[in-house]
Structure formats: structure tokens, C-alpha cells
Amino acid sequence: MNDRTRREFIKAGIIAAVSPALVGRLVSAVGAQESEEPLFQTRYSCFYQATGAVIDLYADPLEGLVNDEAHVHVFAQSHASAYASRPLADRIHASGPSFRYAPCFDLHEHVGWGTAGEEQLAEWGRGFRDAALAATADYFGFNELPTTASDNSEAGRRIRRQVATLLTYLSEPNDKGDRLEGIFFMTHQPSMPGNWPERDAEFWEAVNQSSRLIVAEHYHGHGFICNNTDMYLSNHFFALRDWLYASDEPAQIEIANEKFTVLHSSRYGPGPSGWQGADSNLVPFDAFERNLAKCSRLTRNRSGGYNRICFAPLTTAYTDPAVHPRIRRLVNWHYNQGSDDIERLCLGDDSSECQC
């Protein structure tokens, strides 16, 4: 089968998978096989901003996340005063073989990045890589693709060129041949295809070459999640994935089938927040638990979400620690049963758990 015929075959699968006839389950088992994202390939759960004490909750030997060759749990962290932390890496790695550490390259902390020359970008990228490797990191986090990166303007194109260059040097092997793949975080605006007037194949090629996960940030408020239908939310969460998939470009199709990851807000605390999630002064905790369950089920039921999901923030400074047992259960329910039929169901096979 030549490349073009293969791509047309792949696309036929995804069109079938999201047809109105499949609204009840969102994606059929047949559609899953046709979409070229294999069920039960390596399962990734991804988390951003978690202290050591929080990580211990996810590593609990009885109720924590599974440790085996089929699962990877990535804890991405932005550090205030250093590129990476060996003590945090050691704590994550002590949690088991599935637990991985990804210190974040925080773009906004590098003053002048938007106009810096390649020599400066290379210095930043290689310096971060070396510090991350020295701290025994497993990946690097890229925090994050700016809101205006998708603009069809010279400013937008320059942002993409600068980011692509940084990614090249962050993922470049060192003199010993050691390298890191990225966990590439995207703000919400460029996570929506309507904000991409042009595809920029070179940019997505650089993202694909450098990254293990491409994370679309969906920090939505409680009302947005609970007041919209399952089908609306599913299409919203995976709009960029479907747009990449329809590109006819191998790198973008690979991202869609193997790397695209939806991030949901796990923030539950008093007052409004840029993390969105729920205001604990207004929303009962059990309602927010159902919010998380709804998001998790919708993610697991859509091609592009069979094997990957992300939550943020996890640190107690931003969210109530009571959310962690819920997230643990959701990841284990939807991504650790080896049964497509069971994993698609709402938590505990109780549909009321997904109605917030």
C-alpha cells in the first residue's frame, strides 16, 4: 500500500469513528482498530506541578498507579530556582519503574526568547538538556506554546520558528549520545484548530521529532464541563487531534495517533483561578469529582485518548489534596483494565458518576 493510499485508509477509519451513529460510545471498537492508534499500546498519564508528598499519594502500593512495562506516569515540574532537581527525580524514580520525571523548560523565564539568535537559543537548549540529564530526568517539559503561536502573521510565524529551534536543541543528543524527548505543553488558543489559518508543516515536524507527548491544555471551568453535552466536549477536546489527523502529513498523523494528549484541570480550591477547575466556595466536592469522571470517560472514549490523559495542577498550593484519590481511581479504571468495553464505562460502571 503506497503512502497516499495508506493515509486515505487511515482517514476513513477516523471519519467512521466520529460519525453521529456512534454518539453513545463516541468511538466504536471497530473504529478504534481502523484509526491506527492501537488499543493498549503504552499507556501514558501525565501530571504537571506536583510536590513530593503528592507524588507519594500516586505511588501508594495499594491504591496508587500501576507500575509495569505497559504504563508510564510522567510528572512534569517547573522549578523556581533551577532547571532540574535531583532530589525530586530520586523521589519520583523511587516510586517505581513507571514513574518518570520531566523538569520543564519555562519559556517565559528566558527573557528575549522571541528575538534571540540561534546561538543564544542553542545555549539555552543545550544548557537545560545538560542540567536535566545530570538530574537523571527522563524527559524535558516544554512550558509552553504561547497563545499567539498559531497566528497567521509574521509575529506568529517567528514564534513558531523560535520554538522549533529551541525544541531542536533541547532534544539534541549530548556528546555521549544521551538525549531527552519532550512533553510539549500548548496553551488553549493554539490547541484549537480554528486558530490555525495555516498548517505550518515544518513546525509540526519539529514538534514531532522532539517530543513524546503533545499536550493540549484544556483548563476549563466547572460550568463549561458540566453544562455541555458529551459530544460537544469530546469534539472540543479532540478538535486539534482530528485536524492534525486530516493533514495528509505523516508527522501530524503520527502526533494524532501516538502523541496527542488532552489535559484537564484538576484545580479545586477557593475563589477564581487561572487554572479554572472549580471554586470550592461554590461547587460541592462530589460535583467536582463527577466533573473529573466525565472528562476522563470522554477522553478514554475518543481516538487519540485511548492511551493518554493528563491532569494539572497537582500541587497543594493550587488544588485540594482530596482530588488525588479520585484521579488515581480514574486513571486505573480507564487505563489499566485491559478491556476496551469496561474501560469505556463511567467509573464503577455507574453512569451517575459522570453527571455533574
Coil/strand/helix, residue 72? strand
The reply to whether 12 falls in a domain is: no
| Distance, CA of 75 to CA of 95 (rounded, Å) | 11
**What is the residue range of 110's domain?**
42-354
CA pair distance 181, 294, nearest whole angstrom: 30
21 lies in a domain? no
Q: pLDDT digit string (tens) for 102-111?
A: 999 999 999 9
Strand partners, 181: 139
pTM for this structure? 0.90
Per-residue pLDDT of the chain in tens (356 residues, 90 and over written 9): 333 333 333 333 333 333 332 333 444 333 333 456 778 789 999 999 999 999 999 999 999 999 999 999 999 999 988 999 999 999 999 999 999 999 999 999 999 999 999 999 999 999 999 999 999 999 999 999 999 999 999 999 999 999 999 999 999 999 999 999 999 999 999 999 999 999 999 999 999 999 999 999 999 999 999 999 999 999 999 999 999 999 999 999 999 999 999 999 999 999 999 999 999 999 999 999 999 999 999 999 999 999 999 999 999 999 999 999 999 999 999 999 999 999 999 999 999 999 99
Tens of pLDDT, residue by residue over 44-98, are 999 999 999 999 999 999 999 999 999 999 999 999 889 999 999 999 999 999 9
344: left (phi over 0), alpha (psi -120 to 50) or beta: alpha
Within 8 A by CB and 6+ apart from 272, the residues are 279
Q: What is the CATH number of the domain that holds 101?
A: 3.20.20.80
Domain-located, residue 224: yes
Tell whether 331 is covered by a domain: yes
Q: Let me know if residue 15 belongs to a domain.
A: no
Quote the number of domains for the chain: 1
Tell me whether residue 25 is in a domain. no
Decide if 263 is inside a domain: yes
Burial of 120 by CB count in 10 Å (0-12 exposed, 13-18 middle, 19+ buried)? middle
212 located within any domain: yes
Taking alpha carbons only, the member of 255, 238, 237 closest to residue 200 is 255
> For residue 223, with 0-12 CB atoms within 10 Å meaning exposed, 13-18 middle and 19 or more buried, which class applies?
middle
Sign of dihedral through CA atoms 70, 322, 273, 89?
negative
